[in-house]
């Protein structure tokens, strides 16, 4: 085993663990489901499209017939779906060792809205996961040594995304720019991760929150970009999904992870490579900004986190 590069070889047995992954039918979520089930975890794969989710399960089972996989419907762009999912999850399962908030949408050409009329990237990537995590917090709390792993992106600090939380126009009603909206959602993922970690620590609750980004990885995420980006740039620059999934796997399983850690590749301007501990933007560590986003997110999702 190499001591330098962190690979799947470093993942300890996940036997006895229940791991929930959002957006598990495709890309990084599918790869993470494959790896974690191969390590013995019981993986609950969620998808908004059950046909695609079942295809993903068949793909994994072809290579690992014994994989312990369940599929559940979850559409993060609809609060009703998230509540329904949470109710069903509570009925079916008594433990949750790891929650992996991975699903995401990027750069839709036209401004799209979630069911509750939030801009789709902010609504799905941030608000959907904020609500989901709040609803599952009780199960995470009752599972010893549990963990939350949050998928962000290098775009949380990309210049063209002018990363900020646009409190005056969170849904880009006035002017839509798909890059700015995506960056806002991915910065929100990190502000949420760090604030959740601080609040859990302050309340002495034993849940570790770590986050990650995959660099530039070849998945279906670029579906809304044009031919040039998909066929040329992605093929030239993007790394394989097996490598791009390692940062979130590390955040989810490395026994040495501490709350607030953030993992990502460090080669080629953080686009490629094996996962290492990295720093996110100064803005992502801004406590005041995180506190303000937290309050707004609680108001918009109507979920109250219980830290008592």
Ligand X SMILES: NC(=O)c1ccc[n+]([C@@H]2O[C@H](COP(=O)([O-])OP(=O)(O)OC[C@H]3O[C@@H](n4cnc5c(N)ncnc54)[C@H](OP(=O)(O)O)[C@@H]3O)[C@@H](O)[C@H]2O)c1
Closer residue to ligand X, CB minimum distance, 164 or 203: 164
d(CA 283, CA 15): 38
274 carries an active-site annotation: no
Beta bridge partners of 134: none
* Contact by Cβ (8 Å): 103, 111: no
Nearest approach, Cβ of residue 149 and ligand X (Å): 11
d(CA 233, CA 229): 5
Q: Judged by CB under 6 A, how many residues of this single chain contact ligand X?
A: 29
Calculated CA dihedral for residues 109, 224, 238, 10, nearest 10 degrees: 110
Segment lying near ligand X (by CB under 6 A), choices 70-78, 131-139, 142-150, 251-259: 70-78
Nearest approach, Cβ of residue 189 and ligand X (Å): 8
Among 10, 29, 100, 131, binds ligand X (CB under 6 A): 29
Burial 10-26, CB ≥16 within 10 A → b, else e: bbeebeebbbbbbbbbb
Segment lying near ligand X (by CB under 6 A), choices 60-68, 132-140, 217-225, 256-264: 217-225
Nearest approach, Cβ of residue 212 and ligand X (Å): 9
d(CA 209, CA 102): 14
Among 14, 211, 219, 253, binds ligand X (CB under 6 A): 219
Segment lying near ligand X (by CB under 6 A), choices 71-79, 225-233, 279-287, 299-307: 71-79
d(CA 117, CA 260): 31
Sheet containing strand 18-21, edge to edge, reads: 68-73, 42-47, 18-21, 98-101, 146-151, 207-212, 262-264, 276-277
Nearest approach, Cβ of residue 132 and ligand X (Å): 10
Nearest approach, Cβ of residue 271 and ligand X (Å): 8
Among 21, 67, 106, 300, binds ligand X (CB under 6 A): 106
Tokens of 147: 């963990």
Closer residue to ligand X, CB minimum distance, 11 or 47: 47
Q: Is 75 in the site for ligand X (CB under 6 A)?
A: yes
What is the DSSP-derived secondary structure letter of residue 268? T
Q: Is 268 left (phi over 0), alpha (psi -120 to 50) or beta?
A: left
Q: Which of residues 32-61 bind ligand X (CB under 6 A)?
A: 48-49, 52
Closer residue to ligand X, CB minimum distance, 19 or 143: 19
d(CA 227, CA 232): 8
Q: Is 7 in the site for ligand X (CB under 6 A)?
A: no
Q: Is 97 in the site for ligand X (CB under 6 A)?
A: no
Nearest approach, Cβ of residue 220 and ligand X (Å): 4
Q: Is 153 in the site for ligand X (CB under 6 A)?
A: yes
Q: Provide the CA 257 distance to its chain's centre, in angstroms.
A: 17
Closer residue to ligand X, CB minimum distance, 32 or 170: 32
Would you tell me which residues interact with ligand X (CB under 6 A)? Answer: 23, 25-29, 48-49, 52, 74-77, 102-106, 124-125, 151, 153, 213-214, 216-217, 219-221
List, by residue number, the catalytic residues.
176
């Amino acid at each position: 085993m190499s001591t330098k590069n962190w690979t799947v070889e470093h993942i300890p047995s996940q036997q006895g663990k229940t791991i929930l992954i959002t957006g598990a039918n495709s890309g990084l979520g599918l790869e993470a489901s494959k790896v974690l089930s191969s390590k013995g975890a019981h993986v609950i794969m969620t998808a908004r499209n059950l046909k695609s989710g079942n295809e993903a399960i068949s793909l994994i089972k072809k290579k690992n017939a014994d994989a312990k996989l369940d599929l559940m419907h979850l559409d993060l762009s609809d609060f009703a779906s998230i509540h329904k999912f949470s109710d069903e999850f509570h009925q079916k399962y008594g433990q949750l060792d790891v929650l992996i908030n991975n699903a995401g949408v990027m750069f839709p050409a036209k401004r799209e809205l979630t069911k509750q009329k939030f801009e789709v990237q902010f609504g799905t990537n941030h608000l959907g996961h904020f609500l989901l995590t709040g609803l599952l917090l009780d199960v995470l709390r009752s599972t010893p040594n549990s963990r939350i792993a949050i998928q962000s992106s290098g775009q949380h600090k990309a210049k063209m995304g002018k990363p900020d939380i646009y409190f005056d126009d969170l849904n880009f009603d006035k002017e839509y720019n798909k890059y700015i909206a995506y960056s806002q959602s991915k910065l929100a993922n990190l502000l949420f991760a760090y604030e959740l970690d601080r609040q859990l620590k302050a309340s002495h609750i034993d849940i570790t929150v770590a986050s990650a980004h995959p660099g530039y990885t070849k998945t279906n995420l670029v579906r809304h970009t044009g031919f040039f980006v998909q066929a040329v740039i992605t093929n030239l620059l993007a790394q394989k999904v097996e490598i791009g999934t390692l940062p979130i796997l590390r955040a989810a399983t490395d026994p040495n992870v501490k709350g607030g850690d953030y993992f990502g590749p460090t080669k080629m301007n953080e686009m490629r490579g094996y996962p290492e501990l990295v720093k996110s933007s100064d803005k992502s560590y801004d406590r005041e900004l995180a506190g303000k986003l937290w309050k707004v997110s609680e108001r918009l999702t109507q979920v109250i986190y219980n830290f008592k």
